[in-house]
Amino acid sequence: MPTYSYIAEDPEKGCPACRRGFDLRRPLSRPALESCPLCKQPVKKLISGFNTPKITKPLSVSDAKAAGFTILEKRCDGNYEKL
Ligand SMILES: [Zn+2]
């Protein structure tokens, strides 16, 4: 039975489950879930391939540095300063 990931279309209105996304096993024969079983808010199916939804957050300077990137910040005098 395939597992589908769903997340609230409007996370502001969702319950704790669908606000963050949840996985549900459903037979292929069943139509796609359209609302959260808990709070009945509309949900959308996430692209399969991810077991848990990942919210992409902007890379912080420290994260980027940890990943080996060199961060350059433009200074007001027009020069780039290595952070
Ligand atoms: Zn919900």
Per-residue pLDDT tens over the stretch 45-67: 986 555 555 556 666 777 767 77
Q: What is the pLDDT of residue 62?
A: 74
Q: What is the pLDDT of residue 72?
A: 66
DSSP state of 51: S
Distance 54 CA to ligand 1 centre (A): 18
Tracing tokens 């980027």 back to the chain, one arrives at: 64
Mean pLDDT, each 10-residue run in order, the chain (83 residues): 88 93 86 91 78 60 71 67 65
Domain ranges of the chain: 3-49+57-82
Contact criterion met (CB below 8 Å) for 18 and 9: no
Distance 21 CA to ligand 1 centre (A): 9
Tracing tokens 């808010």 back to the chain, one arrives at: 41
Distance 57 CA to ligand 1 centre (A): 23
Distance 29 CA to ligand 1 centre (A): 23
How distant is the alpha carbon of residue 17 from its chain centre?
Answer: 14
Q: What is the pLDDT of residue 32?
A: 82
